[in-house]
């Protein structure tokens, strides 16, 4: 019997390694697990026309195109499977997964969104995001002192836990090796993407998991997703932030498995 396929997608500035603990637990449960990152999805397409850090728009989304290059990379993978797959998106990976769910629902069996949001930046009608000025400043600072930006970012990812300086430096270096242009473009993707008006039509069963103390994506963004997606449920983890997958990987894998094995969901 063919094992059910599940794809995990790590978010901005993270390599696939970030989701390996969860992936290992899912593999032990006899799933066919594959781990990607948003950076790797982008590279799958090759020859992305970088506009460079000085430009105002993200080059990962063609003008008048429905999908970003990230989502096109994910679509390319899913189309080769021959059957709908389970997609687990963490942070920016969740945004990419939602893009594909909106445009190509036939490719997804179920959707798991961890620390994800339909829109990163807050505005007058959406208080669930982060301050737009903070994201703009982050983009500008990436051109001046990227190592400092990445260091602050990974501190916020792990908060309220305090990660060792050695481990954080390792993550900073791995992210920096992705290249400044892809990192800046990834921030612009997060800055510009807004999926709020498109999610009402997504009928795919969805599980939303969020940390109450998330400093990257406020937990209220996860609640907004649960209120907006027609067939969803939400789990809020107390005492943990954005790094749920690193801090509570066994619990997270158990929640995902329970969701995937629930035969009472509408599919």
Q: Which of 68, 91, 158, 232 is catalytic?
A: 91
Is 91 labeled as catalytic in the residue annotation?
A: yes
DSSP secondary structure of 156-202: HHHTTS---HHHHHHHHHHHHTT-HHHHHHHHHHHHH-B-GGGGGG-
List of residues 6+ apart from 203 with CB closer than 8 A: 105, 230, 231, 266
185 touches 59 (CB < 8 A):
yes
Q: Which of 185, 210, 214, 237 is catalytic?
A: 214
Beta bridge partners of 194: 119
266 touches 203 (CB < 8 A):
yes
Residues 244 and 158: their CA atoms lie apart, in Å, by: 9
State whether the Cα torsion 27-32-37-40 is positive or negative: positive
Is 213 labeled as catalytic in the residue annotation?
A: no
Q: Which of 14, 242, 245, 249 is catalytic?
A: 242
Residues 159 and 171: their CA atoms lie apart, in Å, by: 15
Question: Pairing mode, if any, of strands 85-90 and 32-37?
Answer: unpaired
97 touches 87 (CB < 8 A):
yes
220, two tokens? 């209220």
Query: What are φ and ψ of residue 237, in 5° steps?
Result: -90, 125
Catalytic residues, which ones? 91, 214, 242
């Amino acid at each position: 019997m063919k094992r059910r396929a599940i794809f995990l997608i790590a978010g901005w500035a993270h390599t696939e390694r970030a989701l390996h603990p969860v992936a290992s637990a899912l593999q032990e449960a006899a799933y066919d697990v594959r781990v990607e990152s948003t950076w790797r999805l982008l590279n799958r397409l090759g020859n992305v026309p970088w506009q460079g850090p000085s430009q105002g728009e993200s080059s990962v989304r063609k003008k008048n195109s429905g999908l970003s290059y990230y989502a096109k990379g994910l679509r390319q993978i899913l189309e080769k499977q021959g059957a709908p797959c389970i997609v687990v998106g963490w942070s920016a990976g969740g945004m990419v997964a939602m893009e594909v769910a909106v445009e190509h629902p036939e490719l997804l069996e179920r959707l798991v969104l961890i620390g994800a949001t339909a829109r990163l930046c807050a505005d007058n009608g959406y208080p669930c995001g982060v301050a737009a000025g903070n994201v703009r400043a982050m983009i500008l600072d990436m051109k001046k002192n990227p190592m400092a930006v990445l260091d602050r970012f990974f501190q916020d990812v792990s908060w309220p836990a305090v990660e060792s300086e050695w481990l954080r430096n390792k993550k900073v270096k791995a992210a920096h090796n992705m290249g400044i242009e892809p990192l800046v473009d990834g921030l612009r993707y997060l800055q510009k993407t807004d999926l709020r008006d498109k999610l009402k039509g997504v009928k795919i069963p969805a599980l939303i998991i969020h940390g109450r103390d998330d400093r990257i994506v406020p937990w209220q963004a996860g609640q907004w997703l649960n209120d907006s997606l027609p067939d969803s449920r939400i789990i809020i983890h107390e005492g943990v932030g954005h790094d749920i997958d690193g801090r509570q990987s066994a619990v997270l894998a158990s929640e995902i498995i329970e969701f995937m094995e629930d035969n009472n969901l509408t599919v």
